[in-house]
Structure 1
């Protein structure tokens, strides 16, 4: 037998604490686990894993004892957190049958008596996991089903909340078992969840969203009536209700549950896809809704675009709908500030100074969305948006336009090269942007010309004389060191990709070499490359 990784002294200490009726040592242990002081924190985790390895049944009982008896809500909550961290699936099988039956009855009592809502939420998750472990062992827990049905129909909000949280947290493998057990009570359960979806209590509303997702198999398989239709309509009404009352954190939770639904059972949404997209576009177009919430909505729309069952329908959406979808997504790219740190070439973040997380997420979303919808649907619209943004007076919009161009160039380069007039328009706009009034737009244009796409390579081959001339002029014009650094990098990229014979046609090659040699940063490679051209 392999020797334990935990010293005998620690094992003895663990047994003494777990078998004692005194909870003070465990409370002190919690202060270390949830604290930030080292090495106490690491030592507490070592103690915890020693308990789990050698005395899992005692550990489960001790934590439950604290949950049941401690008068301090923080202590009860911490005990529940530790129990979830240790994983019920590892601890439950170590209990004796008598201990399991005790836990089953008393945990349900806890759900009725617990007054702290954060602790109650944790306990509901534990009960869901316990139910799953009981089912895996081939046993039943009829008292849990009775509790759920009685509580969800109760007039007492805390009981409703308990039942909804338990349902929302059901492990996937346990959901079919629960659905089968609840079939005889489908109608009252459906009515209770409908009522919860319109509750003025936002916690109940959002947990009802989660309950619908968990029980979707129950509402899908029942014949004779479309039970899900009423629920989905109530979910969307509930979402708009949360937004109208400025409860956006709850609204994000509701949208996240819808994302889980798309990922789990996308086929059920087929009949409602058009309406769902339009409803979500209304959210995206609402000026009162924050960008953070819009990102969740974008994730939902992207999930539908990528779902195998829904993607073909998303690609067939009307032109106007896809235009609205891409237009609203472009708004995320305006989340950028003219941060002073950006102008400092020594800044740690460099080009990312001023770019908020929303901007970065917007780039990722547009990239994935254009892939999911296909270049034939997205390119004409994106190119139109690009042209429109480049005519704007606000620098952020022009910067967003070049950012969008970079995204579609990654996904649609070949189509853009073949598209009539596209190359001429792009090169004219990019060269103009070399002299944009705002340095960040100039930087974006120079950076775009270093993008390893077929579009940029084609531009360099066909318009290299124009580009070299414009970059040469930019070396003289720009005094901002951050921008000038990008000019030099753009020249370097050009030298690497354009045949030397073509570049020798530029009459002032020696002048460019002289200018580059005077630049203090990142110029050695350029000077060497240009010197090679003269040989």
Structure 2
């Protein structure tokens, strides 16, 4: 067949006769098959395995799955190598296909069989010593193998594919001769292959090779010519036409327009002929729709897209409509996924048929026979459009009819809930719903005003619906939009219209799901529309929430009532809360007497919020509340229930902050002794008391002021230790094994590196930094002996890459530390060394560190905090920057200005040649930073 010359030498033919005779091969094969060897059907207890067994893992030349065993008997005079060489020569130089056919069949014998072991060793030998010759042998087999041996032909193709793609560079480009032979063979197979299964394998392989190794237009123009001719031919085989269009679809991303040997107009005409034909099946039209999407995405630009998109988009929409009628989920997913890619990459290409296209895609949601996943993909298409900052968003905002239909479809999907008391009523359950995730992204991109303010009738009809699902959908929709929209204040008109209906749903709706959703929405309104919502509706909200707290038949509704009351009261002014204070405190004290720890825990959190907001008004209730809190704290400590203990310690210290140090003197020792004992014990990383202990010291310091000094020798070292903690980074042996599902671990991308951090440990570090900042701010010069150590701990955190919040706190603390040092130095609390002021030393340490941090800061928001701190620090200090540091400072300022400029440019887009910019309020943060930078010009 083919020369046995090693792969480094040019291959040659050893016989002029054709390698395989279509007429003789079957007869020879039948005559020479031996029972039990070479003929799988004669083997005992054996059934033909799937061709997938010829995958790379089983054919790898780098490792053999079984120990090397000589195929010969021990008395054989030949070595294993001689045996393998003789078998290889048999395969390569045989005038017929029998040796290769036997070999391919043996590669598909059962695992652990001797035949399979020997076949794999022979395959590795052929790849190592006769690689090119063996590949050409396989190519010839594919060309001339008789149709009776379709399975062996399939095995041959699998082996060839595995060889050509098993390493990074592959054999494809090894020699131009090999390259040419393979291209010719592949095109020949595409033309003549009758097995659809093998034809699809060839298509996949051609796409792989074209993707990895070949520029189609310049290096393999025959392939695109073949595709074009196949699409335009009058072939009787619809399957081959589908394969040709599928190949075009897969090849388009790999071929630049400038490399095309056939004009894109010709391909466009071919696609239109398919759409216009009455004889084409829906499957062929789907393939044409997929290819049309990629045609628009990769082969058109702003200057010519209207020529093609105007008609192609209509054909794509008509295909989607037909698929909806047929309930074809798989094909709808494929077509809309491609449209979503087009919306992300070139939203302007949709402008010619925008309304028609979007409304048609949204009709998918109405498909009765379609799966939920298919309906969600329609929303994801709109999400992709809305998240394009200028073009897609502006086109959506410009059509109120599209927005109305979008809201109808979202409400329809939100209403598609089962009446299951165990699901759908927890916030985590709701947030994980695909429709909720889509709504959240749309709300963030388009804004609440666009989604809510203009459609009161739509929501009113849902509020009045008889079915609970529609009422639940409307209430939940408003809560999600309030939580996720980028500028909640836009919703002011909308929530004023809806608030009364939502509050009424808490009190009057008969279904617990609706009451839960109403409480969830009140919670979001309390957080995002503060304090206007509290000021306007406190007289209606308070009775509704206290009533829901007694809903013992529906525990999740009851818990949500506590959460809503927490957020409502936390964001209340003391004057708004005062009329309700007595009723709330009495209600909470009754709940504290409940045995249920979950109810007690939520009650403690609400009591903390009430104390926080009411401030000195809470003092008259201190003597009534504190006995309960002390009993709960000591009981939790005795029972080693650290979750409950953390809640009680938090509540006590929050109450102390509200009432002031004069009220709490008789209770301090008891709580401090508990904190001392906890600090001496070993608390696990995930123990809630680790973080609560740090917060308790910080709150106690703020409450006591200078009277906190006796406790500083215990509190400050603990805060410093946690602020320096380093055990938050995880370096896994296998990144694929990292489980982020429970939230205890999260991934961070730093440049081109991915790391994982323990969230609890990082939160502890942040809490410690905040505690140090809080105590320093409260004690001022009273921190004197600890100022240096606190500064040495917080200054390195200015460049802490793993948490922007830690960088923010560290930057905010710098002016506070300098003020403390300045006063302490003036009062004589700090000693001079070598004739130099401690304050000046600290300035020389802090100010250059802030400059370095500014030069490396990537977030404008944090850069603004650093600039504020620098401003204060430089006004307090003398000139402490040397020439190099001054240069770095100026470069940092220029860097910030460049970031502002680049962000501003990124917010400017073009639609149909008209420049558009986003609303001025979106530039607010950049403008603030810009103003701060300009102010430094005067320093």
TM-score class, shorter-chain normalisation, is 0.7 to 0.9
- Aligned equivalent of 1:144: 223
- Asked if 1:202 corresponds to 2:282, the answer is yes
Residue 39 of structure 1: aligned partner: none
C-alpha distance in 2 between matches for 1:146 and 1:200: 22
The 5-angstrom pairing of residues 269-280 of structure 1 reads: 269-280=350-361
* SS of the residue 2:510 aligns to: coil
Q: Deviations over 1:162-207 (max 9, x none)?
A: 22111111263424355x2111x834x3332123235642332122
Q: How does 1:28-39 map to 2 (within 5 A)?
A: none
For 1:170-181, list aligned pairs within 5 A: 170=251, 172-176=253-257, 180-181=260-261
Q: Deviations over 1:201-228 (max 9, x none)?
A: 2332122123223333556699899344
Deviations 1:328-347 (A, max 9, x none): 2321112211125339xxxx
CA distance in 1, matches of 2:163, 2:325: 35
Conserved in 1, the CA contact under 8 Å of 2:479 and 2:520? no
Pick from 437, 461, 483: which aligns with 1:364?
437
2:582 is the counterpart of 1:507 = yes
Root-mean-square deviation (CA), in Å? Answer: 4.7
Tell me whether 1:487 sits opposite 2:561 in the alignment.
Answer: yes
Per-residue deviation, 1:377: 2.5
Contact 2:329 2:374 in 1 (8 A): yes
Structure 2 residue 348 is the aligned partner of structure 1 residue 236: no
Correspondence for 1:262: 343
**Inter-CA distance 429–181: structure 2 relative to 1 (3 Å threshold):** same
Distance, in Å, in 1 between the alignment partners of 2:138 and 2:265 is: 33
* Aligned residue number for residue 101 of structure 1: 180
With over 3 angstroms needed to count, the CA separation of the structure-2 counterparts of 1:102 and 1:325, relative to structure 1, is: same
Contact 2:230 2:244 (8 Å CA) reproduced: yes
The corresponding residue for 1:37 is none
Q: Deviations over 1:409-448 (max 9, x none)?
A: 121664356428x437414523432442111111222233
Equivalent position of 1:127 in the other structure: 206
CA–CA separation in structure 2 for the residues paired with 1:289 and 1:390: 27
Which has the larger share of helix? 1
Whole-Å separation in 1 of the counterparts to 2:353 and 2:130? 48
The equivalent residue for 1:474 is 548
The CA distance in 1 between the partners of 2:133 and 2:426, in whole Å, is 50
Deviation at residue 470 of structure 1 after TM alignment: 2.3
Q: Contact 1:63–1:83 at 8 Å: present in 2 too? A: no
Q: Distance in 2 between matches of 1:248 and 1:225?
A: 30
Residue 599 of structure 2 aligns with which residue? Answer: 523
Contact 1:11 1:54 in 2 (8 A): no
TM-score, normalised to structure 1, is: 0.76
Output one character per residue of 1:135-155: Cα deviation in whole Å (capped at 9) or x when no partner. Answer: 449952132123112211122
Alignment of 1:300-379 (within 5 A): 300-307=381-388, 310-311=391-392, 313-342=394-423, 360-379=433-452
Instruction: Check whether the contact 2:440–2:480 (CA below 8 A) recurs between aligned residues.
Output: yes
* Structure 1 runs not aligned, ≥5 long: 1-5, 33-46, 344-348
Shift of 1:71: 3.0
Give how far 1:285 is off. Answer: 4.9
Whether 2:247 is the aligned partner of 1:166: answer yes
The alignment of Structure 1 onto Structure 2 pairs a total of residues equal to 501
Task: Find out whether 1:111 has 2:185 as its counterpart.
Answer: no
Separation in 2, partners of 1:170, 1:117: 20
2:465 maps to: 392
* Residues 515, 328 of structure 1: alpha-carbon distance in 2 compared, 3 angstrom cutoff: same
Cα distance 1:281–1:472, how it changes in 2: closer, same or farther (>3 A)? closer
Mark the structure with the bigger radius of gyration. 2
- Counterparts of 1:401 and 1:79 in 2: how far apart (Å)? 55
Verify the 8 A CA contact 2:453 2:491 in the aligned structure 1.
no
Q: Quote the Cα distance in structure 2 between the aligned partners of 1:337 and 1:158.
A: 43
Q: Which runs of 5+ in 2 are unaligned?
A: 1-60, 69-80, 92-99, 113-120, 612-617, 623-939
Distance 2:436 2:582 in 1: 40
For each residue in 1:121-144, what CA deviation from the matched residue of structure 2 results, as whole angstroms up to 9, or x when unmatched? Answer: 453233133234454499521321
CA contact (8 A) 2:506 2:548 kept: no
Given that 1:151 and 1:162 are in contact with CA atoms closer than 8 Å, whether structure 2 keeps it comes out as no
Instruction: Establish whether residue 154 from structure 1 lines up as the match of residue 233 from structure 2.
Output: yes
1:296 aligns to what?
Answer: 377
User: Are the equivalent residues in 1 in contact too, given 2:386–2:446 (CA < 8 A)?
Assistant: yes
Shift of 1:326: 1.9
Question: Contact conserved, 1:427 with 1:459, CA < 8 A, in 2?
Answer: no
Residue 307 of structure 1 and its aligned partner are, at CA, apart by: 3.5
Q: Distance in 2 between matches of 1:427 and 1:101?
A: 76
Aligned with 1:449 (options 522, 526, 540)? 522
Alignment of 1:75-94 (within 5 A): 79=158, 90-91=169-170, 93=172
Distance 1:461 1:435, change over 3 A: same
Q: 1:63–1:326: structure 2 CA closer, same or farther, 3 Å change rule?
A: farther
For residue 423 of structure 1, the aligned residue among 482, 496, 499 is 496
Seen in structure 2, the aligned counterparts of structure 1 residues 518 and 416 have a Cα distance that, compared at 3 Å, is farther
State how far apart, in whole Å, the 2-side matches of 1:84 and 1:168 are.
Answer: 26
Deviations 1:501-533 (A, max 9, x none): 725743332233212431614234444453865
- Compute the displacement of 1:284 (Å): 4.4
**2-structure distance, mates of 1:423, 1:266:** 35
- Equivalent position of 1:35 in the other structure: none
> Over residues 467-490 of structure 1, what are the superposed CA-to-partner deviations in whole Å (9 max), with x where a residue is unaligned?
333222223344122322323333
The structure-2 alpha-carbon separation of the partners of 1:118 and 1:370, relative to structure 1 and needing over 3 Å to count, comes to farther
CA contact (8 A) 1:263 1:303 kept: yes
Quote the Cα distance in structure 1 between the aligned partners of 2:395 and 2:539: 43
Contact 1:449 1:456 in 2 (8 A): no
> Using a 3 Å threshold, how does the CA distance of structure 1 residues 27 and 381 change in structure 2: closer, same or farther?
farther
Do the aligned partners of residues 59 and 243 (structure 1) sit closer, same or farther apart at CA in structure 2, a change above 3 Å counting? Answer: farther
201 and 10 in structure 1: CA distance in 2 versus 1, 3 angstrom threshold: same
Deviation by residue 1:81-103 (Cα, 9 ceiling, x = unmatched): 98599689643556433332222
